[in-house]
Amino acid sequence: MQKVTPWEVKGEVDYSKLIKEFGTSPISESLLKRIKNHTKDLHFMLTRKIFFSHRDLPWLLDEYEKNNKFFLYTGRAPSGNIHLGHLVPWIFTKWLQDKFNVDLLFQFPDEEKVVFKKDLTFEDTEKFTRENMLDVIALGFSPKKTKFIIDTVHANLMYKHAMRVAKKITFSTVKATFGLTDQSNLGQIFYTSMQAVPAFLPSVIKNKNIPCLIPLAIDQDAHFRVSRDVMPKLGYYKPAIIHSTFLPSLLGPKGKMSASSSQDTIYTTDSPKTVELKIKKYAFSGGQPTITEHKQRGGNPDIDISYQYLKMLFEPDDKKLENIYQNYKSGSLLTSELKEIIIKKINFFLKKHQQKREQAKKNINKFILPT
Amino acid sequence: MQKVTPWEVKGEVDYSKLIKEFGTSPISESLLKRIKNHTKDLHFMLTRKIFFSHRDLPWLLDEYEKNNKFFLYTGRAPSGNIHLGHLVPWIFTKWLQDKFNVDLLFQFPDEEKVVFKKDLTFEDTEKFTRENMLDVIALGFSPKKTKFIIDTVHANLMYKHAMRVAKKITFSTVKATFGLTDQSNLGQIFYTSMQAVPAFLPSVIKNKNIPCLIPLAIDQDAHFRVSRDVMPKLGYYKPAIIHSTFLPSLLGPKGKMSASSSQDTIYTTDSPKTVELKIKKYAFSGGQPTITEHKQRGGNPDIDISYQYLKMLFEPDDKKLENIYQNYKSGSLLTSELKEIIIKKINFFLKKHQQKREQAKKNINKFILPT
């Protein structure tokens, strides 16, 4: 049985089932074409269906075409170090920002994980907020068009509007949507109201209704299933959403990379040696038990983690990816060779990322929304 | 059946029953003596048992005697105009401030009534917050020793700590304590966490544990039944509390003056004519149906609203009050005469209060806590 909530992804994830369950829409070819009219090319995360589902994207494009520009909203609940899985929606968000030339509000809900994790404190999340910001900045977001909003730091801007949202949501609803219970704490129950706010805060500040597009991994959809119904009651547009699949854990193709175990995760701060070790030791393989057998029968790239990481993050070139796919499938590309490819790709990426992360340290304040 | 929650007072209130139900302590003669050691005299609200119940007051005095000074915390959820009933705990708080020479944190939880009243908006409470502040200032609180904290305005200071409280309270608890249900909205459920914060915020800001005394009408006790258990877990003292009874409505001696009907309420902004009319027309009388009968059988001051207002607010002189009591009881003081006494007292008070309220307009900013 699959379970996909903002705080738990369990079981084998069937994405087409999620589309039905959550009531979202698949991204059709004609919608891709419409996007391409504006962006000239399509990010591989779109053509490869890493971003596979949406809410109200045609409406958002209607508005855009009427010169009613949207802004982007995504975020990160600081509670640990950033791993490759976190980067998927952010890299795509950066692409959207560049192509549509739009503002981005990036939320750091630093209270969320405090109320969901027994031993996590605000001292912890304060540290992680700063650390996580470095990863976001390192991806190259424009400081002019990107603002960080931190729930406890910007509570003066947010709390009142969170209460306006909270007034319109009953406990019954969050019980049903998030699987909360009578034993849930008040912070867990209230939190979704804060996650709703950045989707309309620019409309409040500029005193005019501005469309919003939220790129996110589909486990976060629950928040907006609830708050999208509320926003029109407060006088704002429902935000449009575009959903990504999860980057799988090193240990296997199903489920989601998680920051809770360092064995199944590659952090953005991992050294080249650590990356090599983790891939060689843990990365689930679609290959055969022996080289001879592999050459004879071929491997299965569809369940191979190294291949999946190339597809989702590290090989933008479709032709090269297809070659790898076919060679692995035919058996001419060995698992050890495929692992060398992904190790090289990850380490190439991380070397530059870690440099940019260092440089980001002096730029944090440029990104933080004025209080 | 009595029902006493922060949002509803229903039925005939039996205060000794509340002491048992809520698990508070009555204020004993020896405790009064101990207070008098510090204050030299006792406010009539203490000797007349208007303030009748407490939590941990002996502990607070222990600390005070060890030179560990407390601060006062009380508040007002802005949602309408101030009536005489609101003044009872505030006048007493002012006395405590003067006698013990202590700071006061006065909370304006401007979100509370928004989430509890269907049609109330933040535009409304913003206006009422300002209006209500004038009444508080008019009572003569020291601007040096008194700071106003407004939930939406000071959310940067409060929200994080409210979440620390919220993490330690389950929905089960607020369900049982406040009578909330699955149909309650998320703002109603979360709100008590914000009401807890001022009780330890000075300890956070000064980075040392400071005792807190909360004077309040006993319907507000529920909040602290819940949060007093939480605060030691966060490293702070449990606040001490001193509880008042309710000023009864004009319409009868049971229950609580309410701002929801202007018939049973005297507002601080009422004109002398309005006060006269309300008292003459609505003030419940303990007198007899005819003057002859009244002179023969006497009236009942214990249920007479005019007498109750003298006792709780307007006649500090015990001897004068006793005379009125005996004369009304014997029948020599007529209801119309008693009503004239209270009308004069209220209008004398309100005339000065309204002048001070006008003067307060230029001083609001002196009272607001820096953000």
The count of C-alpha atoms lying within 13 angstroms of the C-alpha of A12, restricted to the half-sphere facing its C-beta, is 4
- Average pLDDT, stretch B306-328? 98
Report residue A260's pLDDT band, with 50, 70 and 90 as the boundaries. Answer: low
* Facing A186 at nearest CB: one of B155, B174, B181: B174
Chain segment B54-84, per-residue pLDDT in tens: 999 999 999 999 999 999 999 999 999 999 9
- Average pLDDT, stretch B269-281? 97
Report residue A295's pLDDT band, with 50, 70 and 90 as the boundaries. Answer: very high
Nearest chain B residue to A121 by CA: give it.
B164
Q: In the prediction, which pLDDT does B55 show?
A: 98
- Average pLDDT, stretch A301-308? 97
How close B230 gets to chain A, by Cα (Å)?
12
Q: In the prediction, which pLDDT does A259 show?
A: 66
B275 close contact with A: CB closer than 8 A: no
How close B220 gets to chain A, by Cα (Å)?
19
A59 close contact with B: CB closer than 8 A: no
- Average pLDDT, stretch B99-127? 97
Chain segment A19-40, per-residue pLDDT in tens: 999 999 999 999 999 999 999 9
Distance, in Å, from the CA atom of A17 to the CA atom of A1, rounded to the nearest integer, reads 11
Report residue A80's pLDDT band, with 50, 70 and 90 as the boundaries. Answer: very high
CB contact under 8 A, B186 and A185: no
Chain mean pLDDT for chain B? 96
- Average pLDDT, stretch B97-109? 98
A47 close contact with B: CB closer than 8 A: no
Distance, in Å, from the CA atom of A299 to the CA atom of A361, rounded to the nearest integer, reads 43
Lowest mean pLDDT among A18-22, A73-77, A305-309, B2-6: B2-6
Q: What's the 3-state SS for chain A?
A: CCEEECCEEECCCCHHHHHHHHCCEECCHHHHHHHHHHHCCCCHHHHCCCEEEEECHHHHHHHHHCCCCCEEEEECCCCCCCEHHHHHHHHHHHHHHHHHCCCEEEEECCCHHHHHCCCCCHHHHHHHHHHHHHHHHHCCCCCCCEEEEECCCCHHHHHHHHHHHHCCCEHHHHHHHHCCCCCCEHHHHHHHHHHHHHHCHHHHHHCCCCCEEEEEEHHHHHHHHHHHHHHHHHCCCCCEEEEECCCCCCCCCCCCCCCCCCCCCCECCCCHHHHHHHHHHHCCCCCCCCHHHHHHHCCCHHHCHHHHHHHHHHCCCHHHHHHHHHHHHHCCCCHHHHHHHHHHHHHHHHHHHHHHHHHHCCCHHHHECCC
A176 close contact with B: CB closer than 8 A: no
- Average pLDDT, stretch A227-255? 94
Q: In the prediction, which pLDDT does B355 show?
A: 98
In this complex, how many residue pairs, one in chain A and one in chain B, have their CB atoms less than 8 Å apart?
128
A258 pLDDT more than 80 = no
Stretch (H or E) spanning B34: helix B29-39
A4 pLDDT more than 90 = no
Chain segment A261-271, per-residue pLDDT in tens: 677 899 999 99
A160 close contact with B: CB closer than 8 A: yes
ipTM over 0.90: yes
What tokens were used for B285?
């009388």
Distance, in Å, from the CA atom of B2 to the CA atom of B9, rounded to the nearest integer, reads 8
Q: In the prediction, which pLDDT does A9 show?
A: 84
Lowest mean pLDDT among A254-263, B154-163, B213-222: A254-263
Q: In the prediction, which pLDDT does B253 show?
A: 79
B195 pLDDT more than 90 = yes
B43 pLDDT more than 70 = yes
CA angle B53, B166, B191 (to 5 degrees): 65
A85 pLDDT more than 70 = yes
Q: In the prediction, which pLDDT does A1 show?
A: 66
What tokens were used for A303?
């369940």
Q: Is this structure's pTM higher than 0.90?
A: yes
CB contact under 8 A, B175 and A155: no
A183 close contact with B: CB closer than 8 A: yes
CB contact under 8 A, B170 and A163: no
- Average pLDDT, stretch A164-180? 97
A345 pLDDT more than 80 = yes
Helix (H, G, I), strand (E, B) or coil at B70: coil
Q: In the prediction, which pLDDT does B259 show?
A: 66
CB contact under 8 A, B371 and A156: yes
* Facing B186 at nearest CB: one of A156, A169, A183: A169
